[in-house]
Amino acid sequence: MARKILVVDDEEKIRRVSRAFLENEGYQVRTAADGLAALKMVAEYKPDLLVLDLMLPGISGEEVCQRIRNSYNLPIIMLTAKGTEADKIKGFQYGADDYLVKPFSLKELTMRIRAVLRRGSSDLPRADVLVYNNGLIRIYPEKMIVEQEGETVDLTKTEFDIFYFLASNPGRVFNRDKIAERVMGIEFTGFDRTIDVHIKNIRKKLKLKRGQLIETVYGAGYKFRDDLNE
């Protein structure tokens, strides 16, 4: 069955050409021109991925992203004319899985859509449940759920995949490129701090009293700690 994409942008040309190109690539595509319509279509259409412009009339793209994150586990690729590193960091903090700066090529958009959707069908080995730190952390890979001390932690799709990959290899150090390649796919073209920003967001949501679950190994990368109960 074709994957369903919702493209949200206030520019009619972008909606039209994106829909035509993506449909030619085999996707089912619907479009919306503003934030309110986007929220309604997410609920009704139930897309597999959302392509979301930040500069929307009425409800902003940022607010749309945050509302969706509160209710759905839906991958989001942000579209925006704002291309500074600070803007990209802000986009990931809102909950985006990827970020594309206008003007963009439709081939690149398609590549990024494929990469994000592929994470959901990753070939990472999936255990039934991973338990760490004397039961304080539980990971349910098939459900894409992380629990900390019995409470579900709200992670984006990309945050979950990064956390699960590191937790599946406790104590091993991985640099940014290896994490991006393994989790995001070989076509990933994110800016240098993409992984850093996602890990920063994970740390805000997941932290034990004894320390950070994801430790920075300076000059080398990151590792997951499973010894914080000691």
- State residue 19's pLDDT score: 95
79 shares a domain with 104: yes
87 shares a domain with 142: no
Nearest C-alpha neighbor of 167 from the set 185, 188, 197, 145 = 145
At residue 184, what are phi and psi to the nearest 5 degrees? -100, -10
Containing 7, the helix (H) or strand (E) segment is: strand 4-8
Of 120, 141, 162, the residue at which a domain comes to its end is 120
Longest CA–CA span in the chain (Å) reads 58
Mind listing the pLDDT tens digit for each residue in 90-116?
A: 777 778 888 888 888 999 999 889 888
Mind listing the pLDDT tens digit for each residue in 7-21?
A: 999 999 999 999 999
Domain that holds residue 150: 130-224
- State residue 121's pLDDT score: 52
Average pLDDT, the chain: 85
88 shares a domain with 18: yes
Q: Is 43 exposed, middle or buried (0-12, 13-18, 19+ CB in 10 A)?
A: exposed
214 shares a domain with 165: yes
The percentage of the chain sitting over the pLDDT mark of 70, rounded to a whole number, equals 90
**Predicted TM-score of the model (pTM):** 0.69
Contact 91, 80 (CB under 8 A): yes
11 shares a domain with 111: yes
Average pLDDT of the segment spanning 29-40: 94
- State residue 120's pLDDT score: 57
Average pLDDT of the segment spanning 193-211: 83
- State residue 123's pLDDT score: 47
Establish if 229 belongs to a structural domain: no
Name the domain count of the chain: 2
Mind listing the pLDDT tens digit for each residue in 142-160?
A: 788 899 888 888 888 888 9
Name residue 37's amino acid: A
Q: What is the CATH number of the domain that holds 213?
A: 1.10.10.10
